[in-house]
Each structure stands twice: as C-alpha cells, then as structure tokens.
Amino acid sequence: MIKRLLFFLMICMVASYANGQVSIKDSSIAIPMVYATYSYQFPAGDLAVRFGSNSSIGGGFLVKTKSNWLIGVEGNFQFGSTVKNQDSLLTTISTPEGYIIDANGRIADVILYMRGFSFLASFGKLFAWVGPNPNSGFTLMGGVGYLQNKMRILNPDNTAPQLQGDYKKGYDRQNGGVALTASVGYLFMSTSRLLNFSLGFEFIQAWTKSNRAVDFNTGQPDPAKLSSQYYGIKATWNIPLYRRSPKEYYLY
C-alpha cells in the first residue's frame, strides 16, 4: 500500500511538470499540492460521553485535475484537554475519596487528556463559480479511512506504578475503526501563488471498538461498539507544485 501511494505521488509530480510553464489565471489546470491543516472539532454520539472539544493538526497531499476533480490523502493528530466522568475511570485503583496513592504513600498527581489520530483518503469536486481564476471555488468532498482515540494518562512524577508501562493501557480505553468523512468548503488558489488556502466545515462518522484485550475496570474485554462523530471548522494552507508561466515581455 505504501509503495502504491509513493508511486501515485511520483506520477502526480511528473504530471505537474508535464503541464509546462502554465498560468492558472486563464484556464483550469492540473495542480498537485501539499498542505498543512488545522481543525477545531466538537464530538457527538458515543465520543461526546468521553471527551470535550479538541484540536486536530496534520497534513496531506491533494491533486486538482484539469477538470476540477479533487483526489487526496491526509493524516491528522488529535489532542484535547477535556476528559469527562474522570471520577469513574480509575475506581479500581482509587481510594473511596477518588485519590490514587503512589509508591511513596502520597496522593499521586494524575492528569487525563484526549489523544487520537486519523488517516483518510478523499475524493471530490471543485465548482469554480466564484473566484479569481478557474482553479478556485467551492468544494464538496467525501472520504474513508481509519480513526483511533484514547485517554492519555499522565503521572508527571512517575511515582504511581499502577499507571506505568503496560498497566496504563488497561485504563486508557483506546479504540479504533473505520471512519467516513464529508466536507464542504472553499478553495482559493492565488494567481500570483502567494496565497493558497481552503476553509470549510467537516463532519466525520466513525465506528470503533476497543483495541485492548482487557479493560482493567471490569477485568474483562470491552465488547462495546461505538458510533462517534466529529464536526468542526477546518482550515488548510496549500503549497502548489507547478511551474510559473514566463512573463510575456522582457526588458533589457
């Protein structure tokens, strides 16, 4: 799969130079581009029971064809600071008051975070109704991939042996599975190549299950199948990979 993806990227790079020296001002052209992306997401469904809002950063590779079709791949890292129902997550190793006692007989400092990642392949269409050139316009995208999330359990002083190494994995509720994504937005490709970005609304539907053999809270495997959603605002900064057309006149 990795070799096929690399081969696809090489073909796109060659195609960008095959365009020769082109100008995006007058006509629609094939444009491969790499990009960085940031999203602010809100959870829904089963995910909203565990976490609050989160951020997502990542990058990808996108090809806009001459006929304004869009094909891309993308990877993202998700992070958030809100974990809900914390009092019930570590009950089997907590005191009746909800504290965890470390190896020194003191109350351990334990902080919980949300962490996750996703890999997605997407396909869509650009509608060049409004923009400075035929390569800018509204976009409609859909995709499929893999999504995973968990709780990151942090004991800053590493004084709680019950939350170290593989023990920690029994409580982090890591789960993963298939995800579908849909988005609507606007892609702006500057004629001067100085400013290229997109902004839009994205929705992700994921069907996940536990990746851990045992949930230490119950002492048994977690059979739950989760239906989780993310929705939020997504912004990208694009770097097009094509050569600029020469000026029509040269002054000596």
Report yes or no on 249 lying in a domain.
no
Instruction: State yes or no: pLDDT of 153 exceeds 50.
Output: yes
**Residue 93: phi, psi to the nearest 5?**
-120, 15
What is the β-pairing status of strands 243-244 and 225-240? unpaired
Residue 125 lies in a domain: yes
* Cα 111 from chain centroid (whole Å): 24
pLDDT of residue 11: 52
Residue-range definition of the domain harbouring residue 230: 2-244
208: nearest Cα among 40, 44, 41, 47 = 47
Q: Name the amino acid, one letter, at 226.
A: L
Share of residues in the chain with pLDDT > 90 (%)? 73
The predicted-structure confidence for 36-93, as pLDDT tens digits, reads as follows 999 999 999 999 999 999 999 999 999 999 999 999 999 999 999 999 988 888 988 9
Is there a domain that residue 100 lies in? yes
Tell whether 252 is covered by a domain.
no
Q: Which tens digit of pLDDT belongs to each residue from 177-222?
A: 999 999 999 999 988 777 899 999 999 999 999 999 999 988 899 9
Residue 123 in contact with residue 70, Cβ under 8 Å?
yes
Total domains, the chain: 1
What is the chain's mean pLDDT, rounded? 88
Residues 6+ apart with CB under 8 A from 150: 114, 115, 116, 172, 173, 174, 175
Judge whether 229 lies within some domain.
Answer: yes
* Predicted pLDDT of residue 165: 87
pLDDT at 19 over 80: no
Do the domain assignments include residue 250?
Answer: no
Q: Would you say residue 118 lies in a domain? A: yes
- Residue for token digits 């129902």? 85
- The lowest-confidence range among 93-97, 113-117, 144-148, 191-195 is 191-195
Any idea what the CATH number is for the domain that residue 197 is in? 2.40.160.20
